[in-house]
Structure 1
Amino acid sequence: MLINLSEVLTEPHKTVEESVVSDMKEVFFGGQKFSIAEMSPVHIRIEYAGEKKLYITGDTSLTVVIPCDRCLAEVPTEMKLVFEKSVNTDTECGDEEDGSDEANYIDGYHLDVEKLLCNEILVGWPMKVLCSEDCKGICSVCGQNLNEGCCDCEDTSLDPRMSVIRDVFKNFKEV
């Protein structure tokens, strides 16, 4: 979805305020695809801030389906995005070294709402997603989800510093 910025950048500097319905169905993060289950309309306000600069504010909420970090079960994760951006639209003096990312979502006199949303989703991405606080994870041998039941695998998750003692007992049984 593109929003035309020409009214904001021309002389009367009209403020643009829109509620945009995004048709994003998925987001890419860390080389993986995550589906977006639900997204409310994005409310965006664009104001002229002087000298070819814009002040962009917006908010939305969405639900992204992310696998649990322990057991890989799908977890609907709600994200509330609220953003404020001060953007320089002057392409002649825009430095690539200043760390700004507006070149990613502003193209001439248009604001690409979906690219802006992708940036904001990545900034607000949760560090860890768990299906529950007491998630047991998966078995490292057979891959069984330990929340759904136990497996018959031998528990070999001993401290590696204790391997010498384990070997002593293993040799003792052989004698």
Structure 2
Amino acid sequence: MLINLSDVLSEQHKPVEATVPFEMEAIKLKSGSFPIISKEPVHLVVTHVKDKEVQIQADSKVGIKIPCDRCAEDVREEFVLDFVKHVDLNVSDADLREDLDESNFIVGYHLDVDKLLFNEILIGWPTKVLCSEDCKGICSVCGQNLNQGTCDCEDTGADPRMSVVRDLFKNFKEV
């Protein structure tokens, strides 16, 4: 969705306020495609600051289905998007000051809402997604989801030098 910013950047500097639909259906990253399962319309307010500097306020809420990092079951992650961006359209991305945000979501006099929201979702993307804190993961031998049941595989990942200790525990389960 593109929003025309010519009213904000013209001599009158009229703010642009709009509520637009969230159009993305999935978040596509190098690690995969993650479907968006719930979304709210995006409320945007773009105001003039000075010269060719604008301030963008946006808020929305998005639910994305991401697999658990341990067992690969789908987990619903909520992203509450409520942010303010300060953008100077005169400055190239290479010359940006620290207090200004990058502006790859503004092309000419148009604001690309999808690109703006994608950047914010990417910033808030969790480093680790778990279905629960006590998720047991999957068996490295047979692939059984250990949250749903146990498997009969012998743990071959242990250090072979510890086989004597492992045999002790097998013989004396009560210990």
TM-score normalised per structure 2:
0.87
Identify if the C-alpha distance between structure 1 residues 57 and 144 changes in structure 2 by more than 3 Å, giving closer, same or farther.
same
Note the C-alpha offset of 1:166: 2.9
Q: One-letter code of the match for 2:150? A: C
2:116 is paired with a residue of what secondary structure? helix
Identify if the C-alpha distance between structure 1 residues 95 and 37 changes in structure 2 by more than 3 Å, giving closer, same or farther.
closer
Alignment-derived partner of residue 96 in structure 1:
94
Note the C-alpha offset of 1:29: 2.7
State whether residues 69 and 129 of structure 2, in contact with CA within 8 Å, keep that contact through their aligned partners in structure 1: yes
Identify if the C-alpha distance between structure 1 residues 136 and 55 changes in structure 2 by more than 3 Å, giving closer, same or farther.
same
Alignment-derived partner of residue 61 in structure 2:
61
- Cα-Cα RMSD: 2.0
Alignment-derived partner of residue 156 in structure 2:
156
Runs of 4+, deviation exceeding 2 Å: 97-101, 163-170
1:96 is paired with a residue of what secondary structure? helix
Alignment-derived partner of residue 171 in structure 2:
none
State whether residues 93 and 102 of structure 2, in contact with CA within 8 Å, keep that contact through their aligned partners in structure 1: no
Contiguous gaps of at least 5 residues in structure 2: 168-175
Percent pairwise identity:
50
Number of positions where the alignment pairs a residue of Structure 1 with one of Structure 2: 164
Q: One-letter code of the match for 1:94? A: S
Alignment-derived partner of residue 138 in structure 2:
138
The separation in 1 between residues aligned to 2:48 and 2:162, in whole angstroms, is 71
2:94 is paired with a residue of what secondary structure? coil
Alignment-derived partner of residue 173 in structure 1:
none
1:13 is paired with a residue of what secondary structure? coil
Note the C-alpha offset of 1:34: 0.3
